Amino acid sequence: MTNLSSAHDTIRAVQWRGDHLRLLDQRLLPAEEQWLDCRDYVAVIHAIKDLAVRGAPAIGIAAAWGVVLAAQQSAPMDQALAELRAARPTAVNLMWALDRMKAHIAAGADAAALEREAQIIQDEDLAANRHMGELGAALILPGSGVMTHCNTGSLATSGYGTALGVIRAGVAAGRIDHVYAGETRPWQQGARLTMWELVRDGIPAKLIADSAASHLMKSGAVKWVIVGADRIAANGDTANKIGTYQLAIAARHHGVKFMVVAPSSTVDMATVSGDDIDIELRDAAELLSVAGRRTVVEGAQAWNPVFDVTPASLIDAIVTERGVIEHPTTERMKAVFAA
């Protein structure tokens, strides 16, 4: 029996405390639930860079609070905005949130006004997740099995989640009866974070190896692959956690539908296609070890892109809080997100 009632029952990983930002340190989950207190904007930058806080919406929200800390402490604002913006390159939510805060600064907002704006950004994200949950769940036929990739839940957002929000809503509505979560090498967001969220909610779920995904789809056990996004280009091409693209290829081959769930803060109409999205390359050490223990021979090298781009042609639906874009094209994206 699930024990999920509403977004208020899910985790709040990003908590503003008036003069500091409290973050649930996602590097330590599920073994430890430790909180990180960021007392200036530089600490927020480190938390984003080091994935103490991660997930496209969550890093945008954290950066917005970083701007509030900079304003409260009279830090040089142009420098703070530029350094926060450079923390990670792929998730456009970071730039979106900072541009929104910058516009308020240009309009003369003081620290108190910026604090109110950051709170609005965080509250809007939660409302969007709840609405997207309903819109996405409505696409899923009762009795369906689904699979998801990475972590797109409360840990990656203001609460409830994007793709995981659709899964929460689908389970609550009796439309989803089983969830498979991909472990999501190398950082294991699926194994460490999504399974933690699903078990806490009492949602029946099984972890699978990333390499088991095509075999699972071939079995007929899943009707949808449901994922999040870090940046959706104007033609619907979608950047998401590495491994998403091959899930989309396998899903199309096996007749499994592919759903992307993301708030409008993830849509970047200024980027024409996925070819123009900057894919973050992270330290090879993240691939050469597991849980901090090296697993590869000394001297070995690695290539560690942490996102990839799924072409719009492989996506059956993009679910946003402004509506569902089926079989996304530039024309259909513009109908919802006129530039």
Ligand X SMILES: CSC[C@H]1O[C@H](OP(=O)(O)O)[C@H](O)[C@@H]1O
Stretch of 132-140, 150-158, 173-181, 284-292 lying at the interface with ligand X (CB under 6 A): 150-158
Report whether 72 belongs to an annotated binding site: no
Residues 17-76 that bind ligand X (CB under 6 A): 54-57
3-class SS string, the chain:
CCCCCCHHHCCCCEEECCCCEEEECCCCCCCCCCEEEECCHHHHHHHHHCCCCCCHHHHHHHHHHHHHHHHHCCCCHHHHHHHHHCCCCCCHHHHHHHHHHHHHHHCCCCHHHHHHHHHHHHHHHHHHHHHHHHHHHCCCCCCEEEEECCCCCHHHCCCCCCHHHHHHHHHHCCCEEEEEEECCCCCCHHHHHHHHHHHHHCCCEEEECHHHHHHHHHHCCCCEEEECCCEEECCCCEEEECCHHHHHHHHHHHCCEEEEECCHHHEECCCCCHHHCCCCECCCHHHHEECCEECCCCCCCCCCECEEEECHHHCCEEEECCEEEECCCHHHHHHHCCC
Greatest Cα-to-Cα distance within the chain, rounded to the nearest angstrom: 58
Which CB sits closer to ligand X, 172 or 319?
Answer: 319
Stretch of 116-124, 167-175, 221-229, 293-301 lying at the interface with ligand X (CB under 6 A): 221-229
Binding of ligand X at residue 240 (CB under 6 A)?
yes
- Of the candidates 150, 179, 191, 312, which one interacts with ligand X according to CB under 6 A? 150
Binding of ligand X at residue 168 (CB under 6 A)?
no
Which is nearest to 265 in space by CA: 189, 337, 167?
337
d(CA 135, CA 165): 10
- Of the candidates 157, 188, 265, 271, which one interacts with ligand X according to CB under 6 A? 157
Binding of ligand X at residue 156 (CB under 6 A)?
yes
Binding of ligand X at residue 236 (CB under 6 A)?
no
Q: How far is the CB of 155 from ligand X (least distance, A)?
A: 9
Q: Spot the catalytic one: 125, 230, 237, 316.
A: 230
> Is-catalytic flag, 40?
no
Binding of ligand X at residue 318 (CB under 6 A)?
no
Binding of ligand X at residue 192 (CB under 6 A)?
no
Report whether 243 belongs to an annotated binding site: no
Report whether 88 belongs to an annotated binding site: yes
Which CB sits closer to ligand X, 75 or 226?
Answer: 226
Which CB sits closer to ligand X, 56 or 198?
Answer: 56
Residue 38, CA distances (Å) to 66, 103, 148, 282, 306 in order: 9, 24, 31, 23, 25
Q: How far is the CB of 162 from ligand X (least distance, A)?
A: 4
Report whether 54 belongs to an annotated binding site: yes
Report whether 26 belongs to an annotated binding site: no
Q: How far is the CB of 70 from ligand X (least distance, A)?
A: 22
Binding of ligand X at residue 162 (CB under 6 A)?
yes
Q: How far is the CB of 230 from ligand X (least distance, A)?
A: 5
Q: How far is the CB of 322 from ligand X (least distance, A)?
A: 16
Residue positions forming the annotated binding site for substrate: 54-56, 88, 189, 240-241
Q: Which residues are designated catalytic?
A: 230
Q: Which parts of this chain interact with ligand X (CB under 6 A)? A: 54-57, 150, 152, 156-157, 162, 189, 227-230, 240-241, 306
